[in-house]
């Protein structure tokens, strides 16, 4: 009794020369190029309704997108909320993030922000206040503000790009950090450029953004 | 409503007549044939949320709903009592979801399923996930505890929208009696719009019980849901040029071709330009498998010739396919020489798994027509076509069936195909039997193949046959090819088939194994049959008779043709317990993540 089918065996069959990489892109095996992950901010304008944040965060976790931070808040329009997501993914992954977000019904528009976009986060840093003068001096350096103080502690509010917050935390650590609370990044495009317009459809960040102006900001991500 | 669905005449059933006669709408019995929402009758204004829900379904032209009664969904069932919508009570909610899913596949209109809160809703989950993976249009309505109990772990409470968020296209927690009808209308429209998929509306009991005089809005999708119908003309032109200059072109038709009603356009395009056609498993039926250009299905258990062609082509026109890993095998070796022209209505499918060199986002039928217009000259691919024919003979799908051996499953599938018409509908469970049903049945028409592809849901076969039967034309046979393990999971649905007197033939390819697992254990786990040996299977023919269905048994070749004829001729549900060769395995096979061109023809080649 025969088990299986007839035909030339696998080793005797011709094999094509080509290959694809893990992202399904055809490559020259001699000079294989793989996409390296990069960090970027994606802004989504969504209907301000219950469940939308869990829709978005659930999408990120079940598709295993590498998420750095996710913030959400109301906008100038009571019916809309803005979600800012910082992800670290290779280019095809960033592309998927945008496309999958657009598929969610409460999502109005999505775009990746340009490198020059304003990105800010807020941190509350509670330190030991044995040297209040020095704490105030450091706070001054970062344009930070003391929002609470007690004989033992001082809590400082600092806002800025991620690097600035990290640098501030680093510097404050000399006093002894008790607790930190950070908000994650929120962002807007510069100038007249709309971060996420209600009428934008599947437009790429490149098309939507490029109008010749570019402001280099060292403090931004 | 589609023509196909409108032709369905409900089977003559005493119980059904009783129900209609008992109902509060005396006109209902005489209007059995008129479509719901017919302009001739002006329906009474709605007075409750539940009536608005049912009115929304009627407005959408829903003819059948599949479900199970329960505490939190009772108001909706009470409103259904006065409706012309025929409710089919299922034996389990999973079956309700599968039946509605299959109804959607065969009719092209969203199938509707209902369940109560808590366990009712969670029992639907497998069926909803199945529909989600296969992009089948489905509307699920679930009961929910009253809003003032929500969040308190009340009796039969589950966070249904939370549970189903990852497996629905969209879901809604209805919170307002005035809005609930429109919520259902919108969910119905969404299930069918663009890339189809399952939607769900969770219906708290106080919302459906609540008073309202708000008629539901007409079915329409929300503003934020936008679908692109036409592909970018520049990319179409570039893709057309690529096709004209191809040396080794191939077309790959996925399930989206059938859902997008693009089969006819694809057939014309392929035949005009003489391009070989491969299908994915959900794409079965999009192109006639008896046509010379057909290479049938590619992928893990696809034909050798389809897998050779997909591996060696230089231009691949993928239409309505998401390049699932069961199709592609290892990404590195998938169509490695091919430039990919990818047609899909869902932008997120473009370059998700395989990079598209020519992304054509849009409705399959529209884009194929755009391509047809743009392609001026057929590719010169005579040599390539000859090569494909050569592969067809090199790797022919043949099997030995000596008279003195146990019955081979392939023989049974072919015999069933022969005994039925071209338009017969095949539904299956999941496992070896499903693969034999793909390989050895010759499909020629779209919407005649109903199976669980992406989720691979064992138990899909019988409930999907129920849904398919109600959506099919009267002259279309419905055959469920099932496995013993798969059938055992949902066979309580036989009670439904008997009660509704549904003309379904179930052929259980019984090898007393979870056969696909057994096959993998033989190949990859040194033949250690851990928990895959089902030698305790019941006698399915007798079981069928206990349910009131007609039961048959096949043990050897002499019985095959005669028994199949008798079972198909029987007017009602029949079950054939086919005792097949327990050692039969499915070939060809591409091991998981392997190279499609290196498919194994025997176990030794794995």
**pLDDT, tens only, A123-132:** 999 999 999 9
pLDDT bucket at A32, cuts 50 / 70 / 90: low
Pick from B434, B500, B440, B505: nearest CA to B476: B505
Q: Is the pLDDT of residue A147 over 90?
A: yes
- Choose the closest CB to B311 out of A4, A16, A25: A16
pLDDT at A215: 42
Tell me the mean pLDDT in the region B200-208: 98
Q: Is the pLDDT of residue B28 over 80?
A: no
Q: Judge: B603–A25 Cβ closer than 8 Å, yes or no.
A: no
Tell me the mean pLDDT in the region B198-203: 98
A115 vs A34, residue with greater confidence: A115
Complex ipTM: 0.86
Looking at the DSSP bridge assignments, the partners of residue B509 are B483, B578
**Biggest distance spanned by C-alpha atoms of chain A:** 92
Residue with tokens 């600035």: A164
- Lowest average pLDDT, out of A50-64, B177-191, B250-264, goes to A50-64
pLDDT in tens, B306-323: 999 999 999 999 999 999
pLDDT at A22: 86
Q: Judge: A58–B165 Cβ closer than 8 Å, yes or no.
A: yes
Residue A208 C-alpha, separation from nearest chain B C-alpha, in angstroms: 17
pLDDT in tens, A172-213: 999 999 999 999 999 999 988 888 765 444 444 344 333 444
A201: which chain B residues are within 8 Å (Cβ-Cβ)? 226, 228
Q: Judge: A5–B398 Cβ closer than 8 Å, yes or no.
A: yes
B214 within 8 A of B176, measured Cβ to Cβ: no
Q: Is the pLDDT of residue B34 over 60?
A: no
- Choose the closest CB to B224 out of A3, A16, A107: A107
B442 CB-contact burial (10 Å; exposed 0-12 / middle 13-18 / buried 19+) = middle
pLDDT bucket at B24, cuts 50 / 70 / 90: very low
A7 touching chain B per CB within 8 A: yes
Pick from B62, B210, B32, B223: nearest CA to B141: B62
Beta carbons within 8 Å of A149's beta carbon, 6+ residues apart: A129, A132, A155
Q: Is the pLDDT of residue A84 over 50?
A: yes
List the alpha helices (DSSP H) in A173-217: 205-209
pLDDT at A83: 96
Q: Judge: B166–A18 Cβ closer than 8 Å, yes or no.
A: no
A107: which chain B residues are within 8 Å (Cβ-Cβ)? 224
pLDDT at A29: 65
Q: Judge: B347–A202 Cβ closer than 8 Å, yes or no.
A: yes
pLDDT at A197: 64
pLDDT at A81: 95
A51 touching chain B per CB within 8 A: yes
B250 vs B226, residue with greater confidence: B250
pLDDT at B32: 47
Q: Is the pLDDT of residue A221 over 60?
A: no
A16: which chain B residues are within 8 Å (Cβ-Cβ)? 311-312, 336-337, 597
Share of chain A above pLDDT 70, in %: 85
pLDDT at B14: 43
pLDDT at A35: 77
Looking at the DSSP bridge assignments, the partners of residue A196 are none
A118 vs B29, residue with greater confidence: A118
Rounded CA gap, B552 and B177, in Å?
A: 51
pLDDT at B42: 79
A88 touching chain B per CB within 8 A: no
A185 within 8 A of A119, measured Cβ to Cβ: yes
A33 touching chain B per CB within 8 A: no
pLDDT at B576: 98
Mean pLDDT of chain A: 86
Rounded CA gap, A45 and A83, in Å?
A: 6
Beta carbons within 8 Å of A204's beta carbon, 6+ residues apart: none
Pick from B597, B429, B574: nearest CA to B514: B429
What phi and psi values does residue B541 have, to the nearest 5 degrees?
Answer: -65, -40
B489 within 8 A of B471, measured Cβ to Cβ: no
Q: Is the pLDDT of residue A113 over 90?
A: yes
């Amino acid at each position: 009794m025969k088990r299986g089918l007839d035909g030339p065996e696998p080793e005797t069959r011709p094999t094509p020369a080509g290959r694809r990489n893990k992202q399904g892109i055809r490559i020259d095996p001699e000079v294989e190029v793989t996409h390296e992950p990069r960090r970027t901010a994606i802004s989504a304008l969504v209907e301000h309704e219950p469940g939308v944040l869990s829709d978005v965060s659930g999408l990120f976790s079940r598709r295993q997108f590498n998420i750095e931070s996710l913030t959400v808040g109301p906008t100038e329009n009571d019916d809309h909320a803005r979600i800012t997501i910082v992800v670290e993914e290779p280019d095809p992954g960033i592309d998927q993030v945008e496309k999958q977000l657009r598929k969610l019904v409460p999502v109005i528009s999505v775009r990746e922000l340009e490198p020059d976009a304003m990105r800010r986060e807020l941190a509350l840093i509670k330190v030991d206040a044995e040297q209040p003068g020095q704490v105030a001096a450091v706070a001054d350096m970062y344009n930070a503000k003391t929002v609470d103080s007690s004989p033992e502690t001082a809590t400082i509010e600092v806002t800025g790009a991620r690097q600035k917050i990290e640098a501030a935390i680093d510097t404050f650590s000399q006093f002894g950090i008790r607790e930190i609370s950070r908000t994650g990044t929120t962002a807007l495009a510069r100038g007249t450029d709309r971060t996420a317009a209600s009428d934008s459809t599947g437009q790429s960040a490149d098309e939507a953004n490029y109008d010749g102006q570019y402001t280099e900001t060292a403090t931004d991500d | 409503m589609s023509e196909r669905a409108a032709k369905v005449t409900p089977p003559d059933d005493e119980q059904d007549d009783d129900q209609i006669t008992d109902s509060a709408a005396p006109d209902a019995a005489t209007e059995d044939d008129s479509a719901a929402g017919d302009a001739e009758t002006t329906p009474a204004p709605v007075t409750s949320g539940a009536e608005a829900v049912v009115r929304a379904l009627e407005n959408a032209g829903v003819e059948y709903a599949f479900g199970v009664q329960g505490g939190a969904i009772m108001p909706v069932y009470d409103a259904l009592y006065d409706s012309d919508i025929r409710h089919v009570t299922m034996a389990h909610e999973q079956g309700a979801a599968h039946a509605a899913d299959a109804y959607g596949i065969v009719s092209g209109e969203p199938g509707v399923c209902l369940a109560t809160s808590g366990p009712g809703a969670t029992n639907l989950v497998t069926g909803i996930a199945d529909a989600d993976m296969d992009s089948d249009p489905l509307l699920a309505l679930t009961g929910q505890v009253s809003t003032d109990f929500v969040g308190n772990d009340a009796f039969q409470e589950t966070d249904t929208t939370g549970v189903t968020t990852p497996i629905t296209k969209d879901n809604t927690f209805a919170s307002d009696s005035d809005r609930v009808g429109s919520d259902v209308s919108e969910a119905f429209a969404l299930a069918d719009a663009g890339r189809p998929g399952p939607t769900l509306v969770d219906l708290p009991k106080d919302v459906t019980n609540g008073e309202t005089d708000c008629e539901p809005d007409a079915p329409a999708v929300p503003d934020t849901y936008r679908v692109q119908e036409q592909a970018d003309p520049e990319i179409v032109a570039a893709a057309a040029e690529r096709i004209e200059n191809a040396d080794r072109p191939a077309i790959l038709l996925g399930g989206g071709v059938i859902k997008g009603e693009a089969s006819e356009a694809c057939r014309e395009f392929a035949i005009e330009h003489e391009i070989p056609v491969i299908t994915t498993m959900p794409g079965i039926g999009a192109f006639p498998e008896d046509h010379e250009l057909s290479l049938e299905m590619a992928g893990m258990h696809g034909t050798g010739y389809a897998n050779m062609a997909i591996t060696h082509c230089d231009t691949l026109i993928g239409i309505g396919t998401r390049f699932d890993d069961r199709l592609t095998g290892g990404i590195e070796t998938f169509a490695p020489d091919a430039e990919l022209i990818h047609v899909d209505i869902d932008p997120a499918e473009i370059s998700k798994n395989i990079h598209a060199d020519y992304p054509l986002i849009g409705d399959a039928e529209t884009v194929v027509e755009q391509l047809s217009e743009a392609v001026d000259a057929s590719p010169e691919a005579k040599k390539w076509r000859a090569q494909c024919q050569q592969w067809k003979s090199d790797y022919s799908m043949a099997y030995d069936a000596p008279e003195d051996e146990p019955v081979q499953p392939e023989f049974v599938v072919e015999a069933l195909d022969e005994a039925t018409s071209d338009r017969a509908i095949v539904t299956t469970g999941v496992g070896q039997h499903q693969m034999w049903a793909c390989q050895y049945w010759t499909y020629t028409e779209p919407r005649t193949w109903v199976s669980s592809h992406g989720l691979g849901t064992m138990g899909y076969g019988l409930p999907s046959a129920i849904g398919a039967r109600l959506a099919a034309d009267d002259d279309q046979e419905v055959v469920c090819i099932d496995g013993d393990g798969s059938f055992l999971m949902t066979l309580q649905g036989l009670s439904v088939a008997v009660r509704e007197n549904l003309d379904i033939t179930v052929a259980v390819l019984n090898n007393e194994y979870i056969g696909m697992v057994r096959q993998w254990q033989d190949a990859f786990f040194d033949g250690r049959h851990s928990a895959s040996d089902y030698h305790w299977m019941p006698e399915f023919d007798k079981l069928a008779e206990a349910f009131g269905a007609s039961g048959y048994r096949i043990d050897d070749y002499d019985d095959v043709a005669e028994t199949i004829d008798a079972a198909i001729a029987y007017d009602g549900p029949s079950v054939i317990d086919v005792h097949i060769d327990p050692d039969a395995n499915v070939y060809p096979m591409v091991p998981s993540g392997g190279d499609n061109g290196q498919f194994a023809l025997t176990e030794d080649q794995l």
